[in-house]
Amino acid sequence: MNKTLADLIKISNAAGKDPTFVQGGGGNTSVKTDDGKSMYIKASGTALKEMNAKKGWRRVNLDAVRSIIDDKSLLKLPEQKRETEVVNKLLLACNDNVKDGSRPSVEAHLHSYLDKCVIHLHPSAVGAYVNAKDGKANIKKLFKDDKFPPLWVPYADPGFLLARRISKLTADYKAKYGKPPAVLFLDKHGLFVTAGTPSNALKTTRQVIAKCNKNLKQPKVKIKNISRQAVFDAKLCIRKAYFDATGRYVTVSYFYGQEIESFMREKNAKAMLTGGPLAPDELVYSNGPAIWVDKCRTDEISSRLKLQVARGNKPAMAFLVKDLGLLVVGKKNIAQTTREIAESSFFVRANAYRLGGIKALTKKEQDFINKWESESFRKTLAGGISAGNLQGRIAVVTGAGSGLGRSIAIGLARAGAVVAVADIDVVAADQTRQTIAKELSDSSVAVIKCNVTDETSVNVAFDSLLDEFGGLDILVNAAGVAPAGALVDLPVDKWRFALEVNLTGYFLMAKAAARIMTQQAMGGSIINLSSKSGLEASKNNSPYNATKAGEIHMARGWAMELGQFGIRVNSVCPGNVFEGSKIWNPAYIKVCAKKYGIKPEQVIPHYVSKTILNKEIKGQDIADAVVFLASDRSKMITGQTMVVDAGQVMVR
């Protein structure tokens, strides 16, 4: 790693790890080579603190980048076509060997006209000034004793126009003061600091932020004890409102702390949130400011979201519920970013209000950012790309630490669902989580310890689910046991154990799930994993035969009870699935071998030969059936039994 890249990583990591510098991972950095021919710059969509020698940066030819600003033909193009052309030109300007598809920051051409080291951030302290109506005057007053005052940059659309404006203003500044500006305040945007060395760039940044913070306030307040049930109720309310307004299934995260409580106590908090987004990040990651909610009422929140959409805006993703806290909808992996941006916005709004009033982005400025491909690209990188017909739905799978439970959890995640992996064995459950994460890096998966035979454990598990994801759409009862043996030899404790796991466990999970689904009022799907043995008894299998038949009949009864709430209940009856199964262990295979008078190694081929298709059933085959029953493709199917056994048992 050369010195220039090392310097870039140094200032990027230092800035990215300082909460006074960065909110939500935004900002970018650059360092020019000593010969002035190239510039290393942060890659678009990379968090500053995550940059390292292998990723998160690009190197560009400075002459090629500067030529973009001087290209007047770009001014003749429509806005979005122009910005796409700029992105392409920046990619062509790269002179490195990076092949991961990353792009240089879209502000690279802006950096090219500044000093050797550049740090661009959106600190809350700076935001209070650049988003205040009297911001320019206040900055001038704050830095009145500086021999070389900061440069104030009036608002321009991000990208090409902003780069041209800064190139002209810096040239004018240099003509006036004999040197380029070290500090730039960008109206409704943020801060640029530029210096000849990394240490001076960081030092100046800290000094500027400290000076801005000097006259700002965030009153210390006492943190309240928030009712967990009140949070659960608010999550279900907002999730339903969002679904009614958009048709989208989302997770809901809850946040509370000093910054949130302090803003909720502001006398004009509600009014401060009505003026529109303050800066691009708030628009991109939150779809605008948080919606103030006096009291959680689904219809009212849904109506407000629908009105936003009707006006051509994206529905808000953050909701500030009075006396409760901040709730954020959307993927778990960007909810924290949304929270940081929302908390920064609260601080900025309260202080900008005291500095002469809040100055938000105009409708025209918002429209440009909403259509700007570069911001869409950045958000996609942060949130990941997901697909599938269960996109955003929240699922719980019991017994998901192994066997069919694991296969089903993986299958649901592949279909786009958010999955809670529930198992009494949390080590095994975490292995399932790791398997999903390895294949689907942008998936949301939680491990929940649950003893399905214990009602307290079940209730705790669902509380953990609401803590983590804020709702429930799918329950798959897959935890099961199969103690085998002849009737005359089977110990009664094994019989009772099978009843507890296979029947009581299914009952307790469905009971808790139905309560949540009913309150949430978005319908839902409960799927009992039964067996072909629930339809056609197998020899020497009394507990399994009885409980698997019972699971089917319970599902039919639940379907009758819950249909009025739009909750569908069905059963899946797998044939013999051997891969990854705890049931098909060596001891069980020996029992089966003895039953049929064959060798243990002949057991699996024997069972496969019983099927009409003469094929071994895999876990994904069962998962496919579960995904179908959980999806809208089966919206008119309830109280039914789907047999996935390669043609062994016919439903009568």
Greater confidence, 20 or 59?
59
**Cα dist. 87→378, 380, 620 in Å?**
13, 16, 42
CATH 3.40.225.10 domain position(s) in the chain: 3-213, 228-383
- The count of C-alpha atoms lying within 13 angstroms of the C-alpha of 345, restricted to the half-sphere facing its C-beta, is 34
pLDDT at 584: 83
pLDDT at 369: 87
The Cα 540–Cα 302 span in angstroms is 56
In the chain, the amino acid numbered 295 is K
Tokens at residue 603, please?
């057991």
Q: Looking at the domain 3-213, which fold is it? A: L-fuculose-1-phosphate Aldolase (3.40.225)
Which tens digit of pLDDT belongs to each residue from 564-619? 999 999 999 999 888 877 778 888 888 888 888 999 889 889 989 989 999 999 99
Q: Is 544 a catalytic residue?
A: yes
Which tens digit of pLDDT belongs to each residue from 10-23? 999 999 999 888 87
Using pLDDT thresholds of 50, 70 and 90, give the confidence band for residue 650. Answer: confident
- Cα dihedral: 392, 396, 397, 400 (round 10): 90
Question: What residues are paired with 183 via a beta bridge?
Answer: 193
Q: What is the DSSP letter of 566?
A: T
102 contacts: CB under 8 Å, gap ≥ 6: 43, 44, 45, 46, 55, 56, 58
In the predicted model, is pLDDT for residue 302 greater than 60?
A: yes
Which residue in 544, 588, 596, 607 is the catalytic one?
Answer: 544
Question: Mean pLDDT over residues 109-137, rounded?
Answer: 94
Q: Are 7 and 30 in contact (CB under 8 A)?
A: no
**Cα dist. 53→57, 303, 555 in Å?**
8, 48, 55
pLDDT at 19: 85
In the predicted model, is pLDDT for residue 63 greater than 70?
A: yes
Residue-wise over 542-560: b if at least 16 C-beta within 10 A, else e?
bbbbbbbbbbbebbbebbe
Backbone torsion region of residue 426, taken as left when φ is above 0, otherwise alpha when ψ lies between -120 and 50, otherwise beta: alpha
The Cα 558–Cα 349 span in angstroms is 50
pLDDT at 490: 93
The Cα 93–Cα 39 span in angstroms is 10
Q: 394-581+616-644: which CATH number, 3.40.50.1820, 3.20.20.70, 3.40.50.2300, 3.40.50.720?
A: 3.40.50.720
Per DSSP, which regions of 223-330 are E strands? 252-255, 291-293, 318-321, 325-329
In the predicted model, is pLDDT for residue 377 greater than 50?
A: no
Domain spanning 228-383: which CATH class is it, in words? alpha beta
pLDDT at 386: 55
- Cα dihedral: 201, 206, 210, 211 (round 10): -10
Question: What residues are paired with 573 via a beta bridge?
Answer: 643
Written as one string, the DSSP assignment of 399-467 is TTTSHHHHHHHHHHHHTT-EEEEEES-HHHHHHHHHHHHHH-TT--EEEEE--TT-HHHHHHHHHHHHH
639 contacts: CB under 8 Å, gap ≥ 6: 555, 556, 559, 560, 563, 569, 570
In the predicted model, is pLDDT for residue 553 greater than 70?
A: yes
Which tens digit of pLDDT belongs to each residue from 167-225? 999 999 999 999 999 999 999 999 999 999 999 999 999 999 999 999 898 888 999 99
Greater confidence, 476 or 485?
476
3-state secondary structure of 563: helix
Question: Mean pLDDT over residues 91-98, rounded?
Answer: 94
In the chain, the amino acid numbered 209 is I
pLDDT at 381: 47
In the predicted model, is pLDDT for residue 93 greater than 90?
A: yes
Which tens digit of pLDDT belongs to each residue from 418-473? 999 999 999 999 999 999 999 998 899 999 999 999 999 999 999 999 999 999 99
Which tens digit of pLDDT belongs to each residue from 320-342? 999 999 999 999 888 999 999 99
The Cα 147–Cα 141 span in angstroms is 13
Question: Mean pLDDT over residues 374-388, rounded?
Answer: 53
pLDDT at 380: 53
Question: Mean pLDDT over residues 376-388, rounded?
Answer: 54
pLDDT at 607: 87
Q: How many CB atoms lie within 10 A of CB 91?
A: 14
3-state secondary structure of 597: coil
Q: Could you tell me whether strands 325-329 and 394-398 are parallel, antiparallel, or unpaired per DSSP bridges?
A: unpaired
CATH 3.40.50.720 domain position(s) in the chain: 394-581+616-644
Written as one string, the DSSP assignment of 298-320 is HHHHHHHHHHHHHTTPPPP-EEE
Question: Mean pLDDT over residues 131-144, rounded?
Answer: 96
3-state secondary structure of 15: helix
Greater confidence, 484 or 154?
154
Which tens digit of pLDDT belongs to each residue from 530-548? 999 999 998 888 999 999 9
